[in-house]
Chain A
Amino acid sequence: MATNMLKERYSGKINTVTLGATKEQGGTRTSTVTVGGDSTMPFLHFEGDMPLKPVIAMEIEDIKPDWHPFLKEVYADVMDNPVAWAKKCVEFGADLIYIKLNGAHPDNGNKSPEECAKVVKDVLAAVGVPLIVVGCGEEEKDNAVLPVVAEAAAGENLLIGLAKQDSYKSVAAAAMVHKHKVLAQSPLDINICKQLNILISELGLAPENVIIDPATAALGYGIEYTYSILERGRLGALQGDKMLSQPVICQIGHEAWRAKEANALEADFPNWGDQGERAILWEAMTAAGLLQGGAHIMVLRHPEAVRLVKKNAEQLMIKPEI
């Protein structure tokens, strides 16, 4: 008996969003990154399009962070120099650089908006890939810093954030004026995720200028919540919900390297095996899981995890012959 391939027909698709701008486009990037455009569930090439591959952003900070010892091992020589750090990440294969302006935090040196803008400009001058720029997380300070950064980097088509439900206006307005994209983060809540997109669009910024951050949980620490939200949002988008049709970014490195399994010594947990391998796989496996949920941009830290996730994504992009 013949077997019919069951194919779902969807009416909607994920928006296509480009980050970065080349010289011809008014920026200084040597490459741009375009994500989205999917008209099917992740990697189901047989029933729809997955035209663009998922990409990797590597995370850096403007001041030396207190990261995990295995990350310090890799970045020891560059962690106090964001320019050199960014360059090193590009060598490791980063499609984008994700820079967190932690130094702006009142408890971390309280850098001025102008100093923050200079760091961003310096990194822009040092590398050719597009940039993702986020504030320190202190709302009031970020509202002062991000508009200055947005202005200083006008034309570069940054992804800038975070926009959250209670504080989205100043970053969304700055992005609108200086033509950047907005990173909209919701706290593992699809209803707030959708509402935030509506609020941003009501300011006048088109939904095509937003990337969703659903908030990421690491493997073993609630990844299934992130996963199911990704899946539900994706289904909504494919059924025509314009306020959930934005591509998705997952901040994986930060969460994965906090997991106990990344931090426990082998001497204390001999059954868990080699710590280094385990920690790197914790990051890579978190990414691999969320890739299946439909992540478009994955923010990672360890170069070996980057290599593994890239390989995984490349294999998933191969269209099977059916």
Chain B
Amino acid sequence: MLIIGERINGMFKDIGVAIREHDPKPLQEWAAKQKAGGAHYLDVNTGPNSEDQTVDLPWMVSVLKECTDLPLAIDTTNYDAMEKALEVYGKPGALINSIGCEQEKIDRVFPMAAKYQADVVCLCINKVGIPKSADDRVAMAMEFVANAEAYGLQPDNLFIDPIILPVNVAQEHGVEALETIRQIKMISNPPPKTTVGLSNISQKSPHRSIINRTFAVMAMTAGLDSAICDANDEALVDAIATARLILNQDIYCDSYAKVFRQR
């Protein structure tokens, strides 16, 4: 499973200050630290306090692309800022994070993904809100896949996110999300990729780390390909590395947890 490191986000105070002052150092430090932790992608988000995302986001991308070889997950719903950031990124393999299941967003973002050879995080959510059942979520996933073809994208260019909600207030959604992931892996060949905003499952609960890693392992069993999460939660990364082994996705060796982080 691919780990999308969540830490370079203006919601965190040090990153927020760095963005305001255009100081590259905290971004570079977190890039290195998350890579060492086991991240495969770095999420990049200006946070809500950015005065102009079309300036701040491309700046963040330019700083990060200089200092890391990890691909970036560019995290915004401001698609003008997204486009500028992709232009600055200038190479294939970025992750557009994200769009909801609304035709105008698909029509805005899928051509951009095709142009910049980027993959897209597609959220199973629309104007009406978050669906209750797995069936309604899978219906949205199918809409994304059908649209992908029309815009020249492959199903596996999509990272479909079933949307997970905090287990303390929306307990019944967890199992629906798992079922959604299972079904998404069957709707096309090649199947779409799947992702989740993992830390969401434990919002406002006092047991965040154990809830996060338990859900991660369960979702991997259902077919989860990636998660936006804390790449420096050692117990989480250990659990992911172990689940990969048991699912026979990596070849066992005694130092497997260490090797997983070196990839």
Contact B253 A198, beta carbon cutoff 8 Å: yes
Q: How many A-B contacts are there with CB distance less than 8 Å?
A: 31
Closest to A243 in B: B259
Contact flags B236-263 to A (C-beta < 8 A → 1, else 0): 0000000000000011111100110011
A226 to B: closest C-beta gap in Å: 16
For the complex, give the distance between the alpha carbons of A195 and B254 in Å: 6
Q: Is A242 an interface residue (CB 8 A)?
A: yes
| Residue A84 interfacial (CB < 8 Å) | no
Cβ-defined contact, B254 with A242, below 8 A: no
Whether B251 lies near A242 (C-beta < 8 A) is no
Is A194 positioned at the interface, with any CB of B under 8 Å from its CB?
yes
Flag if A242 contacts B253 (CB, 8 Å). no
Contact B263 A232 (CB under 8 A): no
B260 CB to nearest A CB, Å: 10
Q: Does A137 contact B (CB under 8 A)?
A: no
Could you tell me the distance in whole angstroms from the C-beta of B21 to the nearest C-beta in chain A?
38
Asked whether A17 is an interface residue with its Cβ less than 8 Å from the other chain, the reply is no
- Specify which chain A residues have a CB less than 8 angstroms from the CB of B263 in the assembled complex: 240-242
Q: List CB contacts (< 8 Å) of B151-199 with chain A.
A: none
Chain B interface secondary structure, helix, strand, loop or mixed?
loop
Count residues of chain B with CB under 8 A from any CB of chain A. Answer: 10
| A190 / chain B contacts, CB cutoff of 8 Å | 251-252
Of chain B, the residue at the smallest CB distance from A232 is B251
Return the CB mask of A246-287 against B: 1 if under 8 Å, else 0.
000000000000000000000000000000000000000000
Q: Is A113 interfacial (CB-CB < 8 Å)?
A: no
- A191 near B252 with CB under 8 A, answer yes
When the two chains form the complex, which single residue of B250, B255, B262 contacts A195, counting CB atoms closer than 8 Å? B255
B residues near A242, Cβ cutoff 8 Å: 262-263
B251 and A198 contact, CB distance less than 8 A:
no
Contact A198 B255 (CB under 8 A): yes
A195 to B252, CA, bound (A): 9
Residues from chain B with a CB closer than 8 A to the CB of A244 are 251
User: Measured between C-beta atoms, what is the minimum distance from A10 to chain B in Å?
Assistant: 14
Inter-subunit contact B253/A194 (CB<8 Å) = yes
Are A236 and B251 within 8 A (Cβ)?
yes
B254 cross-chain contacts in A, Cβ below 8 A: 191, 195
Q: How far is the CA of A194 from the CA of B252 in the complex (A)?
A: 8
Closest to B190 in A: A9
Docked complex Cα distance between A233 and B253 (Å): 12
Report chain A residues within 8 Å CB of B262. 242
Residues of chain B with a CB closer than 8 A to A191's CB: 251-254
Give Cα A242–Cα B259 distance, bound, in whole angstroms.
Answer: 9
| A156–chain B nearest beta-carbon distance, Å | 31
Give bound CA distance, A236 to B250, whole Å.
7
How would residues 213 to 241 of chain A score, 1 for a CB under 8 Å from any chain B CB and 0 otherwise? 00000000000000000001100100011
Q: Which of chain B's residues has its CB closest to A236's CB?
A: B251
**For residues 164 through 216 of chain A, which have their beta carbon under 8 Å from a beta carbon of chain B?**
190-192, 194-195, 198
Complex: how many Å from CA A232 to CA B248? 11
Given known A242-B262, A243-B259, contact A195–B251 (CB-CB < 8 A): no
B259 surroundings in chain A (CB, below 8 A): 194, 198, 243
Q: Which residues of A contact B250 (CB under 8 A)?
A: 236, 241
A240 CA to B260 CA, complexed, in Å: 11
Bound form: Cα–Cα A195–B250 in Å:
13
Report the minimum CB–CB distance from A312 to chain B (whole Å).
29
Q: Which residues of B contact A241 (CB under 8 A)?
A: 250-251, 263
CB contacts under 8 Å to B, within A103-145, are none
CB under 8 Å from chain A, chain B span 121-176: none
- In the complex, what residue of chain A is closest to B156 when comparing beta carbons? A9
Q: Taking each of B250, B251, B252, B254, which has the highest tally of chain A beta carbons within 10 Å of its own beta carbon? A: B251
Residues of A within 8 A of B253 (CB): 191-192, 194-195, 198, 243
- The residue in chain A whose Cβ has the minimal distance to the Cβ of B254 is A195
Residues of A within 8 A of B (CB): 190-192, 194-195, 198, 232-233, 236, 240-244
10 contacting pairs across A/B (C-beta < 8 A)? A191-B251, A192-B253, A194-B259, A195-B253, A232-B251, A233-B251, A236-B251, A241-B251, A242-B262, A242-B263
Q: A190-B251, A242-B263 are in contact. List 20 more A-B contacts (CB 8 A).
A: A190-B252, A191-B252, A191-B253, A192-B253, A194-B252, A194-B253, A194-B259, A195-B255, A198-B253, A198-B255, A198-B259, A232-B251, A236-B251, A240-B263, A241-B250, A241-B263, A242-B262, A243-B253, A243-B259, A244-B251
Return the 6 tightest CB-CB contacts between A and B, nearest first: A194-B253, A195-B253, A191-B252, A236-B251, A198-B255, A195-B254
